[in-house]
Amino acid sequence: MEKNYAIESNKLSIHYGHFTAVRDVSIKIEPQKITAIIGPSGCGKSTLLRALNRMNDFVPGCHVTGELLLQGQNLYGRDIDPVEVRRKIGMVFQKPNPFPKSIYENIAWGARINGFKGKMDDLVEQSLRSAALWDEVKDKLQESAYALSGGQQQRLCIARTIAIQPEIILMDEPASALDPISTLRIEELMQELKKNYTIIIVTHNMQQAARASDFTAMMMIDDQRAGGVIEFDETKKIFTRPQDKRTEDYVTGRFG
Amino acid sequence: MKQENITAENKAFRPLNLARKISPAESAIQVLLFLAGILSIFVTVAIVYELGKEAMLFFTNPDVTLGKFLGTTKWQPGIGQYGIWALVSATLVTSFVAIFISLPLGLAAAIYLSEYASFKSRSILKPILEVLAGIPTVVYGYFALLFVTPILKAIFGDQLQVYNMLSAGIVMGIMILPLISSMSEDALSAVPRSLREAAYAMGATKVETSLQVVVPAALSGIGAALIVGISRAVGETMIVAVASGSGPNFSFNPLDAAETMTGHIARISGGDLSYNSIDYTSLFAIAMMLFLLTLVLNLISQWVVSRFRERYE
Amino acid sequence: MNKNMNTNNHYPQGQDFRHVLNARYRVATVWQTLFLSALLIAIISLMALIYNVVDGAFGYIAYEYKNDPSEFTSTPLAELTQEELAAILKENLSSGAYKKLNNEQPVAERSQADLFTLFMERLVQLDTKGTWSMTDSLMNGEEIRAEVAKKYPKAQLEFRSWLTPQFLVTPMSSKAEFAGVRTAVLGSLWLVGIAILFALPIGTGAAIYLQEYAPKNWFTSIIQTNINNLAGVPSIVYGMLGLAIFVRVLEPLTSGALFGVTDSNGRTILSAGLTMGVLVLPLIIINAQEAIKAVPDSLRQAAYGVGATRWQTVWYHVLPNSLPGILTGSILALSRALGETAPLIVVGASTFISLDPSGPFSKFTALPIQIYQWTTRAQSEFHAIAAGAIIVLLVLLLSLNATAVLLRNRFQRRW
């Protein structure tokens, strides 16, 4: 029987005008697992990640070829609504970017625009608990989100994403702007979240990929400066028995 | 110093003196530039001093009491009527109409330009707004009296006087629109892209992102635009001088003719005034009020803008 | 498919979500239309304004001659020469009136156009019965002709352009039909010239001081705040300042009494020009500062590196590189000064002068002042020449701005 994947790409390429930034990516992401995308900087990791929930739509001149399938539907198909795509595939960004609203509103806003009908207070509490933030903020829900520390802000952003209950959460180097303790907390949180969500994370930190992910996609640019996935496998294989010489060089630190 | 000279002599056969030399030309230039720099302070001092001096003459006139000034509604200093409200009311009404028109339109235009317009349509639309901003106000006055007033006349009929505050206010709103729109657009563009992305990533539409995330985040900048708009409306002269009526009239009905503070200064000073008459000094009292009011408004708006910039640096 | 942790899901799913989303899109369309229509309203206003002015500057005029031209001469009007006109005027005007004319400017030296105007104004005594806007004239030509024929059987009706080459070179006149903007345009040029002579050097100097010399301390920041504030002071307040300082306190200087001019008071071109200069000073400073800021520090460091003094660095490197920007800013400030009206009224623009300004101590009028005075007259023929004068003003402004844009594009440098 055909295995069910959370999302799969088929010869997915991303172009900026005439320049091809990412070429022919074909990967199948397993549900309820953490998949890490690693590779040297400039290899198109973030570009690929942003293509997965059509955030690239906002970049002028950017267009995508190939297929990206979510439950059998091509997300770049003609009749696909990008707003609905993003509602199903949430995203956490490199730098914490809470809205300049209260902590409560940061979570309630997304739920409200998406037509949430339940009790908002419960949703806020549940989301904050899931993001391991509830105990720290439960007494100051009406305070500005900007009053939180960087690590707390990033967990708030995760909570806000969980609140709209997406299928997949994309994380674009979510800990790169944080201190080691906060980073650790985010990683622990990811392990909790994967019980319910599929997580795809871009990271430049190989230890993080090795520690936290189940699968790893290794990206590299080719001679035309287009990025591509050169190897995709279980994380422990990538880090112990890589098939590709370039992957081996990279994960052992012999690259760049 | 001596030490250096000796070693330099040994090495280069030439005395080296690194002591600070005073060049008269350089110093003179620096002094001149400094004077140019502080001239602006001098201008402000001159405004405050001259306006203040004449205004004091007005207020120390035994006939002028604070009670009459603030407590009555007829203004004709020549015959002992000093009720400033007769002029302030028209300034309030015209400015209110102007802001009522220009704030929503200017903000909407700014949202369109900042969030929706493509690079190409921006490059067409922005210059049009700039042209609108560059038209002399006396031309707007002509437009108010000979285009807008007849249209309003057709709508309101005889209730509308030939000179009226409504027409002047509407046209003033059109005049201020580009200012509010460009300042608001600056404020909207200063909102970091990451906030928009956060909203989109949660499945928000463009309008939801613009109205519920970007606009609230830019609210203080938009507030600054509003304040500058008010200050511009209060100080605007020619549109009201042409279209709003000549004669102080305590009325809050926009369909009435009434003279604003600025319009009054323009009309009275246009005639031959004898220095030191109560008419003359009273104009300075009004001008002083205008100056202080716009000064406070401008200071507030600058403070708001600088705080706003800090927040997103 | 993975299961969400929340078993009782409160979000609309599938078809329900589609409905919610479609409703959201409808709201989105409404808002987007509103945003766009704000811009459309701005564009329509601009169109309406331009239409309104052009509409006023052309159209039918109905007029009567009080005295038929044939009473004075047998030559057809279009063929009258300067000499003939001079002779007719001498013959038919009262000797006092002729003497007065000759005193203002000898009749023999006046142009044909000038004399023709005098002839029509004083002797033929043209009397305008009515004017119509361009749209009115074109749409309702028949009715207008019928109405004029009925009400003023003796009147002539013709389609007239109020904006003619003649209009540009004719001085002021108390009759709209013969008035021109020559005096006003010359006055405006004088004012703007004086303003820029005053404000450009001082403004550039102030900008250099603030960008290149001033220490970063509270005093400098006060100067900077003060300049920003001055840029927002209503122009009529500058007028009051001009009235108090230039017209009154500095009267000996601005009236020219110090230089031996006796027949004027402080309400001169010089006073008005200086007032305008003070008014545009903050704009020039702010623009020049921007231009100087755009010069990269590497250039300054290069100059210091080869041992240049601060002033040498400014004079040989910073200024030449920021000059296009400074000039562009000054031109924009000029166009502001060209359109300003309120301060001129306060400083004391003359309501009627028909003689060209002869120097800084002349009485003055200016283009926007003329527009103001003509617009506020009750007779429609004055509105027509106001429209003509507005077109002249707008064309002047447009060419100034076009120059600024060209200058900016020509010298724009990418660092």
Q: How many beta-carbon contacts under 8 Å exist across A and C?
A: 46
Q: Which DSSP letter does residue C175 get? A: S
Reported for C313-319, long-range contacts at CB under 8 A and 24+ positions apart, including other chains, are C313/C212, C314/C208, C314/C212, C318/C208, C318/C212, C318/C292, C319/C208
Region C54-72: what's the mean pLDDT? 86
- Beta carbons of A100 and B194 less than 8 Å apart: no
* B214 interaction partners in chain A (CB closer than 8 Å): none
Which residues of A lie inside 8 Å of C (Cβ-Cβ)? 4, 6, 31-32, 71, 81, 83-84, 87, 111, 113-118, 123, 126, 130, 164-165, 167, 195-198
Alpha helices, DSSP H only, in A39-141? Answer: 45-52, 82-88, 103-113, 120-130, 134-137
Pairing of strands A215-221, A34-38: parallel
Region C222-244: what's the mean pLDDT? 93
Region B290-307: what's the mean pLDDT? 90
Least confident of C49-58, C233-242, C255-264, C338-347: C255-264
Tell me how crowded residue C226 is: count the other CB atoms within 10 A of its CB: 18
pLDDT of residue C12: 86
pLDDT of residue C338: 94
User: b/e per residue, A54-82, with b = 16+ CB within 10 A?
Assistant: bbbbeeeebebebbbbbeeeebbeeeebb
Class of C182-411 per CATH?
mainly alpha
Element (DSSP H or E) covering residue B108: helix B85-111
* Separation in Å, CA of C20 to nearest CA in chain A: 7
State the ipTM, two decimals: 0.90
Whether C378 and chain A come into contact, CB under 8 Å, resolves to no
Model confidence over C288-309: pLDDT tens digits? Answer: 999 999 998 888 999 988 888 8
Whether the pLDDT of residue C325 is over 60: the answer is yes
Q: Taking CA A29 as the corner, what is the angle to CA A25 and CA A35, rounded to the nearest 5 degrees?
A: 95
Whether the pLDDT of residue C3 is over 50: the answer is no
Predicted confidence band at C218 (pLDDT cuts at 50, 70, 90)? very high
- Beta carbons of A58 and B212 less than 8 Å apart: no
- Which of C11, C250, C43 has the alpha carbon at shortest distance from B132? C43
Q: Which DSSP letter does residue C356 get? A: P
- Which of A47, A60, A88 has the alpha carbon at shortest distance from A173? A47
From residue C281, give the alpha-carbon distance in Å to each of C195, C196, C201, C245: 9, 9, 10, 16
Locate C196 and state its tokens.
Answer: 């820029």
End-to-end Cα spacing for chain A:
43
| Strand, helix or coil for residue C268 | coil
Whether the pLDDT of residue A234 is over 70: the answer is yes
Phi, psi torsion values for B53, nearest 5 degrees: -60, -50
- Beta carbons of B202 and A110 less than 8 Å apart: yes
Q: How many beta-carbon contacts under 8 Å exist across B and C?
A: 251
Contact (CB, 8 A) for B138 and B242: yes
Phi, psi torsion values for B205, nearest 5 degrees: -85, 175
Q: Which residue bears the tokens 């210091």? A: C304
Region B291-313: what's the mean pLDDT? 83
CA dist B140 and C342 (Å) reads 13
Domain boundaries, chain C: 59-160, 182-411
pLDDT of residue C77: 75
Whether the pLDDT of residue A160 is over 60: the answer is yes
Q: Taking CA A106 as the corner, what is the angle to CA A103 and CA A108, rounded to the nearest 5 degrees?
A: 105
Q: Taking CA B205 as the corner, what is the angle to CA B203 and CA B208, rounded to the nearest 5 degrees?
A: 110
Locate C33 and state its tokens.
Answer: 């239309």
- Which of B200, B217, B143, B149 has the alpha carbon at shortest distance from B174? B143
B149 burial type by CB count under 10 A (0-12 exposed, 13-18 middle, 19+ buried): buried
* Separation in Å, CA of C414 to nearest CA in chain A: 23
- What lies within 8 Å, CB to CB, of C45 at 6+ separation is B132, B174
Region A1-27: what's the mean pLDDT? 88
- Which of B281, B283, B253 has the alpha carbon at shortest distance from B267? B283
Whether A15 and chain B come into contact, CB under 8 Å, resolves to no
* Furthest-apart CA atoms within chain C: distance in Å: 110
Q: Which DSSP letter does residue A102 get? A: B
CA dist C86 and C115 (Å) reads 7
pLDDT of residue C412: 66
- Beta carbons of A198 and C3 less than 8 Å apart: no
- Which of A230, A193, A238 has the alpha carbon at shortest distance from A211? A238
Locate A23 and state its tokens.
Answer: 């070429």
pLDDT of residue C414: 55
- Which of B218, B215, B257 has the alpha carbon at shortest distance from B240? B257
Model confidence over C350-381: pLDDT tens digits? Answer: 777 777 788 888 888 899 999 999 999 988 88
Contact (CB, 8 A) for B165 and B247: no
* C53 interaction partners in chain B (CB closer than 8 Å): 139, 142-143
Whether A122 and chain B come into contact, CB under 8 Å, resolves to no
* A32 interaction partners in chain C (CB closer than 8 Å): 2
With CA atoms as reference, the chain C residue closest to B240 would be C342
* B119 interaction partners in chain A (CB closer than 8 Å): 60
Model confidence over C87-102: pLDDT tens digits? Answer: 888 888 888 888 887 8
- Which of B108, A34, B198, A22 has the alpha carbon at shortest distance from C36? B108
What is A28-63 written as a DSSP string?
EEPTTSEEEEE-STTSSHHHHHHHHTTGGGGSTTEE
* Separation in Å, CA of C1 to nearest CA in chain A: 7
Tell me how crowded residue B45 is: count the other CB atoms within 10 A of its CB: 12
pLDDT over 70 percentage in chain C: 96
